Structure 1
Amino acid sequence: MTVQWSALIVVSFFGAYLGPALAAAPDAVREFAGRVGPIVGQASACQDIAQGRVQTIVDKVREVIRQASTNDGERDQLTRAFNGYIADGRSRIGASQASCANAEKQLVELERSLSQPAAAGPRPSSPAEATTGAVTAAEVRGVTDREIRFGMVLPFSGVQKEVGHEMRLGIETAFARANEGGGINGRMLRLVVADDGYDPNRTAAAMAQLYEKEQVFGFIGNIGTANAQAAIPYALERRMLFFAPDTGAASVRRDPPDRYVFNYRPSDAEEAEALVRYLVKMKRIPPRQIAVFTQQDALGDDGYAGVAKAVRHLNISEPVARFNYPRATIDVDDAVNQIKAHKPAIKAVIMVATSRAAAKFIEKTRDAMPDLICATISVVGSTALATELKLLGPRFTRGVIVTQGVPAVSGYSSLVLDYKNALTKFAPGEAPDYTSLEGYIAATILIQALKQTNPLDTERLVDTLESMRSLDLGLGAPLSFGRAEHQASHRIWGTALDENGTYQAIELE
């Protein structure tokens, strides 16, 4: 590292404290971020380098960006650029010891450069601020001697309110079960919720309510794909855990993964691909007679991408027909009419939709296309879909296929039995449901990690999650995270509705 390079880092970092010069030079900050980002990115990809060291530097750079920015737009732009530089560094690092040894050397030089001029700036106001890697008040917000508060943004009304209710129910049931056993080292778990109405334009305000007013420690179980896209930047900027959102979107599964974003469920693309294999191999339907009915947004895009990828794997170059409906509506008439008129005749439709839109689609195609196979991925909300179809009658429920990211709620695996017993005890009158089971599983994973993290702060919790391997909760499939893997499960289960509107397990392969 040259003297000039070292001086650039020092001036850039401490300029935020020494005067207005840096605030007038966002280009200097961008250059600073462009030099530091690849170094910390490479270091973060090496197993033997403590991530707390990396995070300390990341925090310093983000503070430079915050103080140097004249408005929110400029700050967001610089932060995205810095995150991109980190990702570039992670993608370029090799797996060899030599590569990581070089990353370690660069990191040490960077740490030395950043620490050299500490005396030039104002003295820290407290011992905690002076300690590298110390847990500050901001990092333990939502944690007291008595409780740990988590936030959840969900729709209280609208087309996804049932899904929101079930996800919340599952999480709160797992929290109640843990609290009965003493909580997390004597601290009780509490879930605080905010409503965004399934409208991504309201999501940031709901996140701010939970962060600023409720002072939550992290987020769990947020509902919606477009909503998650609005929520994640808010959480990342504040280094807040964003755990197990109810979405299979690719935007929540970046490669390399965002440090604070963790998923339980399989992706939408994985579920859609499983349905294609099932329809082609088990039902013997030609790929050119399979269509996709999707909500017109990122959710639909991800599902369609999974179908298209699966068809390509079958060495079929012909594009898959796609028919859309407007997001957060049940306006499916145009899509239905187009499918009815399509040549060759469509024999199966993979739906990537909300429960009411999917039910309306089935209702409007059943008479004209009685042999049409309707299948959907789990984001639809299994119970909500079954409830809608049962109101229409047995011929509308029979044979509707739904992939699941959890085992059958009618099954007897140890975790499913624990879930149903907990539901009976802590939520009497609530029926077992696939979405609430998912919430229960996700919360149970988080509880396991919380119990292993002491003292508790976000960075240590993330490190704990990334070290979890082959976690056996009794699902019949092990769950794992890693530094490069923030999705616990890739297992997909198959179910189909019978004439009574009850889900029966089916083999997908």
Structure 2
Amino acid sequence: MAVRWSTLIIGSVFAAPFSPALAAAPDVVRELGSRVGPIVGQASACPDIAQGRVQGMVDKFREAIRLATRNDGERDQLTRSFNGYIAEGRSRTGASQATCAAAERQLTELERSLGEPAAATAPITPVKAETTTGAVTAGPVRGITDREIRFGMVLPFSGIRKETGRQMRQGIEAAFARTNDAGGVNGRMLRLVAADDGYDPNRTLAAMTQLYDKEQVFGFIGNVGTANSQVAIPYALERRTLYFAPNTGAAVVRRDPPDRYVFNYRASYAEETAALVRYLIRMKRVSPKQIAVFTQQDPFGDDGYTGVAKAYRQLNIGDTVTRINYPRATMDVEEAVNQVKAHKPGLKAIIMVATDRAAAKFIEKTRDAVPGLIYANVSAVGSTSLATELKLLGPRFTNGVIVTQGVPAVSGYSSLVLDYKNALAKYAPGEAPDYTSLEGYISATILIQALKQTNPLDTERLIDTLESMRSLDLGLGTTLAFGRAEHQASHKIWGTALDETGTYQAIELE
């Protein structure tokens, strides 16, 4: 990479005061990000390069982004682009002597372009302090004391997705409680602090700010909602804060290369919808022309529809995918029902990318109008709440309704599922096992293992620990893994279908 090419421009971008001419030229900053980001990423992967130097360059470039942009959307877009280039640089670097020597030279040249004195090549050693538990830390870290590690979670306390939020929180808290009873993480107790955004992305930023600034959380886990994550992720990235296992399978949390601070446990909606397309066409012998996609009209629905369209292309199917929408966060499905009734040729299967109550209302309105219609939902529908809604309508409304899952059957006997059910019985007595709370429990269990392996504990070391986790066997029947270029632990999809009693039974999707 030719660093000298941009020396003068970089110097003007980072100069103080900032050049007013560049305030109208974000494209200049975007181009520089494509050059600076990989250098920063390569340097961050080298143990002999002081991370203070790397972080200093990141902070300066993010300030340049702030000054060069006119609104939050533009700023977030540039920040995500810059973070992507950093991740790309990290993924290219094997921390070998040769690559790290090159990264050192490039970083030094960038520093000189800013008129800064050349930095020492030896890493800066932080002042270490020993806690009362004997663990070593590198000075104060947000959200961590000698007794506690504090995580935040943004979820809907009320509204159409409140049950999903409640279940996700319950699973995480059960895993935290189980760990705390066993002595915590190296003597520190885990604490989850939740904030409500009502499933409204317009309220997500305030909830994130409350948790970060007021509650001083170390990181975020289990946030609910796709559109909500679109708001939350740029906020977390800008603050270099962990955003772990959000309850969404959308592409926004699965960039390629991945955002450094964003990690997922579960399979994506694209993987779930692809599995459903293959199941309907190959196993149920449904013509592609007789499959439609019923989606919430928002990024959640967009992602599911895109997944179906991609699956059609992968199967060399030339037919256009029929999309039927309903308004976000509502149960207004009348127009969608009318489209199903009027569709020619008649529909035989619906892939549903919807919330629980909207999905139940849609099934209620179409079950008799289109007899024999196959309903196939992605996991985000909320399995338990969907079953509850349909059971109120009667056995003929539950029987045969399919839901893909990112976790194994809660009725199963794998070691982790048994641990989960025991923890639920102890810390949430009276609560029935649920697919969403199991997802929360698994996600928290992965994070806990990484926390235990990171000492001294801070965000950057935790990220490095997560990226080094390979062939993690939690007792799910499938192994999990992360890497520098892979921030999704599982790609496994389980199939379930409701019977006449409203109970989920396992089905084979392949």
TM-score by length of 2: 0.88
> In the alignment, which of 94, 98, 102 is matched to residue 105 of structure 1?
102
Q: Is the 8 A contact 2:43 2:103 kept in 1?
A: no
Q: Determine the structure 1 residue equivalent to 2:111.
A: 114
Q: In the TM superposition, what are the counterparts of 1:273-292 in structure 2 within 5 Å? A: 273-292=274-293
1:161 equivalent in structure 2: 162
Q: Distance in 1 between matches of 2:91 and 2:142?
A: 37
Q: Separation in 2 of the partners of 1:310 and 1:498?
A: 28
Supply the distance in 1 between the matched residues of 2:290 and 2:97 (Cα, whole angstroms).
50
Instruction: Quote the offset at 1:77 in angstroms.
Output: 4.0
Relative to 1, partners in 2 of residues 1:292 and 1:221: Cα closer, same or farther, differing over 3 Å?
same
How big is each residue's C-alpha offset from its partner over 1:314-359, in whole Å with a ceiling of 9 and x where there is no partner?
A: 2210101110000000000100111111010000101000000000
Whole-angstrom distance in 2 between the partners of 1:360 and 1:113 = 59
2:173 partner amino acid? E
* Distance in 2 between residues matched to 1:57 and 1:464, nearest whole Å: 19
> What SS does the aligned partner of 1:257 have?
coil
Q: Would the alpha carbon gap of residues 313 and 9 (structure 1) be closer, same or farther in structure 2, given more than 3 Å must change?
A: closer
Q: State whether residues 33 and 82 of structure 1, in contact with CA within 8 Å, keep that contact through their aligned partners in structure 2.
A: no
CA separation in 1, counterparts of 2:324 and 2:454?
A: 47
Distance 1:97 1:215, change over 3 A: closer
Contact 2:41 2:88 in 1 (8 A): no
- 1:58-95 Cα offsets, whole Å, 9 max, x none, are 54332454378459846874664365256357669996
AA partner of residue 105 (structure 2): V
The structural deviation recorded for 1:453 is 0.5
Residue deviations 1:354-394 (CA, integer Å, cap 9, x gap): 00000000000111122111110000000010010011111
Change (3 A) 1:74 1:5: same
Matched residue of 2:149: which SS? strand
CA–CA separation in structure 2 for the residues paired with 1:355 and 1:348: 18
Question: Secondary structure of the equivalent of 1:295?
Answer: strand
Contact 1:34 1:82 in 2 (8 A): no
C-alpha contact 1:349 1:373 (8 A) present in aligned 2: yes
- Is the contact made by 1:41 and 1:86 (CA closer than 8 Å) also made in structure 2? no
Matched ranges for 1:355-394 at <5 A: 355-394=356-395
Gaps of 5+ in 2: 120-124, 128-136
> Does structure 1 conserve the Cα–Cα contact (< 8 Å) formed by 2:248 and 2:380?
yes
SS of the aligned residue for 2:496 comes to strand
Counterpart for residue 417 of structure 1: 418
Counterpart of 2:503 in structure 1 is 502
Q: What residue number does 1:124 align with?
A: none
Give 3-state SS (helix, strand or coil) of 1:254's partner: coil
Partners in 2 of 1:75 and 1:358 — Cα distance? 34
Equivalent in the alignment of 2:444? 443
Mapped partners of 1:143, 1:53: distance in 2: 23
Separation (CA, whole Å) in 2 of partners of 1:89 and 1:484: 12
Q: Once the 2 structures are TM-superposed, how far is the Cα of residue 311 of structure 1 from its aligned partner?
A: 1.8
Q: Per the alignment, do residues 471 and 452 of structure 1 end up closer, same or farther by CA in structure 2, a change over 3 Å counting?
A: same
Partner of 1:144: 145
Q: Which amino acid aligns with 1:421?
A: N
What corresponds to 2:57 in structure 1? Answer: 60
Matched residues, number: 495
Q: Deviations over 1:384-405 (max 9, x none)?
A: 1001001111111000000000
Q: Determine the structure 1 residue equivalent to 2:46.
A: 49
After superposition, the C-alpha distances for 1:423-443 in whole angstroms (9 at most, x for unaligned) are 111111111000000000000
Q: Deviations over 1:408-456 (max 9, x none)?
A: 0000000000000111111111110000000000000000000001111
The CA deviation at 1:112 is 6.0
Q: SS where residue 501 of structure 1 aligns?
A: coil
- Counterpart in 2 of 1:473? 474
Contact persistence 1:153–1:194 (CA under 8 A)? yes
Contact 1:65–1:79 (CA<8 Å) still a contact in 2?
Answer: no
Matches of 1:40 and 1:90 in 2, distance apart?
8
Residues 29 and 65 in structure 1, CA contact (< 8 A), matched pair in contact too = no
Instruction: Establish whether residue 199 from structure 1 lines up as the match of residue 200 from structure 2.
Output: yes
Alpha-carbon contact 2:30-2:81 (below 8 Å) kept: no
> 1:148, 1:310 → 2: CA distance?
42
Give the AA of the match of 2:221. I
Distance 1:36 1:156, change over 3 A: closer
Distance 1:52 1:323, change over 3 A: farther
The verdict on how the C-alpha distance between 1:188 and 1:249 changes in structure 2, with shifts beyond 3 A counting, is same
Partners of 2:29 and 2:447 lie apart in 1 by: 36
User: What do the CA deviations read for 1:260-311 (whole angstroms, capped 9, x no partner)?
Assistant: 0000110001000101111111111111111110000111111111111222
State how 1:238-257 maps to structure 2 within 5 Å.
238-257=239-258
CA distance in 1, matches of 2:107, 2:482: 29
Name the SS of the counterpart of 1:324 in structure 2. Answer: strand
Alpha-carbon distance between aligned partners in 2 of 1:430 and 1:503, rounded to the nearest angstrom: 17
- The answer to which of 314-323 and 145-154 deviates more is 314-323
Q: Could you say if the C-alpha distance between residues 117 and 476 of structure 1 is closer, same or farther in structure 2, counting changes exceeding 3 Å?
A: same
Change over 3 Å in CA distance of 1:332–1:36 after alignment to 2: closer
Distance 2:63 2:450 in 1: 31
Per the alignment, residue 180 of structure 2 pairs with: 179
Structure-1 residue corresponding to 2:213: 212
Paired with 1:415 and 1:434, the residues of 2 have a C-alpha distance of 13
Preserved contact between residue 293 and residue 349 of structure 1 (Cα < 8 Å): yes
Displacement of 1:111 in angstroms is 3.2
3-state SS, counterpart of residue 205 of structure 2? helix
Alpha-carbon distance in 1 for matches of 2:96, 2:231: 36
Amino acid at match of 2:258: P
Q: How do 1:86-101 and structure 2 match up within 5 A?
A: 87=84, 101=98
Q: CA deviation at 1:100?
A: 9.6
Distance 1:308-1:53 versus aligned 2 partners, 3 A rule: farther
Deviation at 1:45, TM superposition (A): 6.4
Relative to structure 1, the CA distance from residue 110 to residue 362 in structure 2 (aligned partners, 3 Å threshold; closer, same or farther) is: same
Structure 1 counterpart of 2:107, which letter? Answer: L
Whether the 8 Å contact between 1:376 and 1:402 is mirrored in structure 2 is: yes
Residue matched to 2:132: none
Mapped contact 2:272–2:493 kept (Cα < 8 A): yes
Q: 1:336 to 1:27 in 2, by over 3 A?
A: closer
The alpha-carbon deviation at position 46 of structure 1 amounts to 9.3
TM-score calculated relative to the size of structure 1: 0.88
SS at match of 1:291: strand
- Root-mean-square deviation (CA, aligned residues, Å) is 3.3
Counterpart Cα distance in 1 of 2:509 and 2:421: 25
